Chains A and B, each alone.
Chain A
Amino acid sequence: MAALQGVLYLVLGPWLVGWVRLVKARLANRRGAPAHQPWRDLVRLFGKEARVAHTASPLFRIAPYVVFVATALAAATVPLVAVELPTAVIADIIVLAGLLALARFFLALAAMDVGTAFGGMGASREMMVSALAEPALLMGVFTVAMQAHSTNLSSVVSHQLELGLVLKPSMLFALTCLALVAVAETGRIPVDNPATHLELTMIHEAMVLEYSGRHLALMEWAGQVKLVLYGVLLVDIFLPWGIARSFEPAALAIGLGAAVIKLALLGVLLAVAESVLAKMRLFRVPALLNVALLMGLIGLLSHVILEAGA
């Protein structure tokens, strides 16, 4: 069951990215490529030859695999269709953050490995953004975790399910905080433009500039899984209804359907935001992440002051 969920993530990743691109195109009055285009790109890339620069070390070849595996593992722990899976035991938010950090670490190292200017630039920018986004992520996560008295994702989701629809200031602030962090970490507008071809504006793209063939396919796939991961995280914590609590086929089907619908809606929201907002200048990004941290802090404080019922 757990393995099935992991595979589901891998499948959904490219679909979600394709869906977001389609909506953006439609919003821009274009017809846009069909939603399974990223799948076709991945298949095409797997078929191509992987050329590696002669200045690259073994790290360069290993990195895509490490990144992909770490991201996929992280994704597998997040409940998508059902809670209380066997992997739920390790589905700790801290573990999640750690796995993603591992992936990012290797990605940045590989970017600097070949010795090009753009790689180093992308790596340093990525590190700056993550360094600022990590505290905000942890702050938002702690706010949520304090309510469920555990950092285990399954417990958090179950707790939210039991609570029902309640308007709580701490959740509102945590939602804003995590949304901002998600945008920063997955490299979407207004932090980074995933469709840019101008190297000086790249953050994530600059790091994978040197890859080709199956290596590039793995890197792209990992990025897409990361997007689904963050999306599911947001959806799980704040809008968890529909998730299956048992393993009956009917419940699982409902869970799957609910997850897909929610992800689709989130995709539309993301596409609209990307169309409306402009990419921020790089030195303004810390201000945005400061806001995210502040929101997380206020959420935490709201929880302690307003809800904990001392």
Chain B
Amino acid sequence: MNALFVMLLIPVVAAGVLALLRPWHLAAGVNVGASALGLACTAWLGWQVAAHGVVSGAGFHVDGFSMALVALTAFVGLTTAVFSRTYMRQLYDSGTVAATRMRLYHAMYQLFMFTMLLALTTDNLGVLWVAVEGATLATVLLVSLYRTSESIEAAWKYFVLCSVGIALALFGTVLTYFAAGHLGAAAVPGLSMSALHEHAAGLQPSVMSLAFVFLLVGYGTKAGLVPMHQWLPDAHSEGPAPMSAMLSGLLLNVALYAIVRVKLLVDGSLASSSNPYLAGQLLMGFGLVSFLVAAFFLHRQRDIKRLFSYSSVEHMGIVTFAFGLGGPIATFGALLHMLSHSLAKSAIFVTVGYAARIAGSQGLEHIRGLIRTQPAVGWSLVAGVAAIAGLPPFGIFAGEFLLLVATVDTRPWLAVVLLAGLVVAFAGLFRHLQPVVFGAAPEGQRPVRAAMAPVLLHLGLAAWFGLAMPGVLAGWLHGATFLISGDTLP
């Protein structure tokens, strides 16, 4: 438990320090240091979870599912902090961002980490809601960091749409609490997810169905499910590159985590009712629509960051679909997909950040010939897009493969749809990638100072996960698969 408390305390303290720290160039260092400490604590916690299976108490509950995502969050947080150090210095030097905004940025960065870690480790459904809303609030001002009209518009859209969605999720939470209050049994679980999970069969199906719809729409807005995704391309493309990396890579996962946790409760409650697969069907529907819509929208993009934001929507759609399909194979594939996507997408946004600085603009027609100008950036982008598009040996390929296997098993015709969508998305990405990386470089483009180490690390891990997974991580994922789908991998 100590590991957990320390892990949560570090970002809060760091945020406070960063808010008060005047010389901002120290801030980046503090940021990195705090993230590194956080990662160390996460490792400590992870070791405990690996040893005992579950760490719980005092309103917290960390099992394999939470732990995998916590480890991912801390890791990506650290690498992005390292990246952000050089990147934000360049922004400051070029005068795009002022000193006070730098302080805000770094303080909010740590606060954002805190809210995400809290959401992933809490046992209380209400605290989960508070943390997800807190994550939204922490990042809203960061999206509008550049203070251009576009970024303010994007941040406003993000704020309003996500707040509305979250409010609906709160109604769902209230309904769940209502159902919990009527369990009738001696135990009054309140909002504790683990306790509710045990008593799930006693929850009223009608209440839980309605609650799930609200929770799905609410948290689905945060996860970028169509048609609630309108804020995502704007918010992810207008903020600074480190912020895009974190939002795309980490926050979407947290939202999906919330949805899956709730799905567990609803499945238990509806198991004996007339429509036991309602949750799964809803997830599949939303996931498939998100996936297809995003795949088609990929072709229309003119801005490189928007392109990859739609790619995020597409991947979240696949993962949602996989969770909806259920069954151990699809679930394991979904979890693997979540992890690999975070790694690859954050790497891509880092690379794209550098690419945009090289070209001086985010428009696809302005970014050309990266291979010639700065080969490191160019090849990283190629590798990143390969990872995202689902080429082997990266983890996303493995995840999608498992999903296809599971779909062919249960609903073969949906597998055809999935394949078609994957082809469309693949075509969209590479169609845009080709001129960007291999085209003729325009005049006057200089290489920028780029620390590509985080990117290479991420992509390497994504590849590693695709081929063979470290035992500890695999253990967590297997545990999560068992929890979510009720069965283990054959």
- Check A-B contact in the complex, CB < 8 A: no
Q: Which residues of A contact B (CB under 8 A)?
A: none
